[in-house]
């Protein structure tokens, strides 16, 4: 195929646009934040489970304290009743009542120790619940921030793609249809065009053999050449060193 050196050079601009389109498309379909967002989703699931377990442990201690307090109240009521009865008791009754009062006092003292110990455990359990709540809030905050960043990146990429598509159509519209069709066909499966420079195809970055370079050197300026390695249209300019 024949094409003017100028039209062939335009293909290098299109190839550059295509390179930027690949980057923008990757950014749009898979912004870099996505992997971390997935990690955070899994992390939140673990943390939510941990919160359920820790809140359950705290509730158990609260129930335990309520039981102990109820036992203390029962013992106190009986103690008060016994002390009341003691004022009008016979000597024989008094001995039995005094024994019971002493026993109730020991029981109350023991229950109060139990309650104190449970209160300490409750404090630790509540701290663990708060710690998990704070961790979940931090996870949610990072997730929201990254999602917003990703959304912005996708929007930017979409705008960039629209602009690049317009530029691409404009540049390709200025070259003969046969050449633009040829370019598009090659670009569907790889790089459409590359600069030939210092014996190298810049589309695939392979150094061509001396005999390939000799063929390129002897070709007419308006002859469309192809890289023998990658099939891209090989474009010659004054930078080619021919």
Binding site for Zn ion (CB under 5 A): 201, 203-204, 227, 229-230, 232
CB of 225 to Zn ion, least distance (A): 11
Cβ-proximal residues to 231 (8 Å cutoff; 6+ apart), any chain: 186, 189, 190
Closest CA to 118 of 55, 51, 67: 67
CB of 20 to Zn ion, least distance (A): 19
CB of 220 to Zn ion, least distance (A): 20
Closer to Zn ion by CB, 153 or 228: give it.
228
SS3 of residue 2 by DSSP:
strand
> Could you write out the DSSP letters of every residue in 110-142?
HHHHHHHHHHHHHHHHHHHHHHHHHHHHHHHHH
Closer to Zn ion by CB, 126 or 223: give it.
223
Contact 44, 139 (CB under 8 A): yes
Closer to Zn ion by CB, 133 or 197: give it.
197
The encoded tokens of residue 3 equal: 């094409």
């Amino acid at each position: 195929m024949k094409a003017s050196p100028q039209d062939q050079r335009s293909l290098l601009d299109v190839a550059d646009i295509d390179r930027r389109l690949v980057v923008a498309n990757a950014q749009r379909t898979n912004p870099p934040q996505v992997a971390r967002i997935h990690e955070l989703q899994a992390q939140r699931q673990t943390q939510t489970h941990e919160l359920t377990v820790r809140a359950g442990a705290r509730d158990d201690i609260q129930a335990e304290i309520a039981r102990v307090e109820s036992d203390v109240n029962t013992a106190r009521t009986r103690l008060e009743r016994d002390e009341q009865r003691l004022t009008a008791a016979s000597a024989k009754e008094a001995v039995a009542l005094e024994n019971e009062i002493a026993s109730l006092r020991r029981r109350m003292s023991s229950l109060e120790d139990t309650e104190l110990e449970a209160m300490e455990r409750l404090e630790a359990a509540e701290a663990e619940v708060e710690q998990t709540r704070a961790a979940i809030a931090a996870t949610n905050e990072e997730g929201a921030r990254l999602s917003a960043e990703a959304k912005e990146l996708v929007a930017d990429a979409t705008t960039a793609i629209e602009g690049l598509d317009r530029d691409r159509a404009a540049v390709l519209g200025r070259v003969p249809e046969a050449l633009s069709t040829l370019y598009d066909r090659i670009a569907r499966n790889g790089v459409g065009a590359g600069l030939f420079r210092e014996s190298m195809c810049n589309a695939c970055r392979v150094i061509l053999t001396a005999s390939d370079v000799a063929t390129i050197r002897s070709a007419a300026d308006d002859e469309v050449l192809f890289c023998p390695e990658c099939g891209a249209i090989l474009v010659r300019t004054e930078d080619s060193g021919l």
